[in-house]
């Protein structure tokens, strides 16, 4: 798979927000997923908040 922006670079992952393939120079590590742009960094934060809230609601991933 190749980077969506740099067709001559191999992708190292996929943007968590928009699912575009990204290379090392394009990918931004958010700590909990890759993002391809600043807009997607914000979107990844929102996605992670939704996941965290869902875990709390359904008691998933918490220690009993």
| In a domain? residue 5 | no
Residue 7 falls inside a structural domain: no
Count of structural domains, the chain: 1
Q: Is the pTM of this model over 0.95?
A: no
CB contact at 8 A, 35 and 27: yes
For the segment 12-57, what is each residue's pLDDT rounded down to a tens digit?
999 999 999 999 999 999 999 999 999 999 999 999 999 999 999 9
**Sequence-ordered list of residues with C-beta below 8 angstroms from that of 51, at least 6 positions apart, any chain:** none
Range of the domain at 22: 13-58
Asked if residue 8 belongs to a domain, the reply is no
Q: What are phi and psi of 4, to 5 degrees?
A: -65, -30
Above 70 in pLDDT, residue 64?
no
């Amino acid at each position: 798979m190749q980077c969506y922006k740099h067709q001559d670079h191999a992708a190292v992952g996929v943007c968590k927000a928009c699912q575009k393939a990204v290379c090392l120079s394009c990918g931004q590590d958010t700590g909990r997923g890759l993002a391809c742009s600043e807009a997607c960094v914000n979107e990844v934060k929102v996605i992670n908040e939704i996941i965290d809230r869902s875990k709390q609601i359904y008691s998933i991933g918490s220690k009993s």
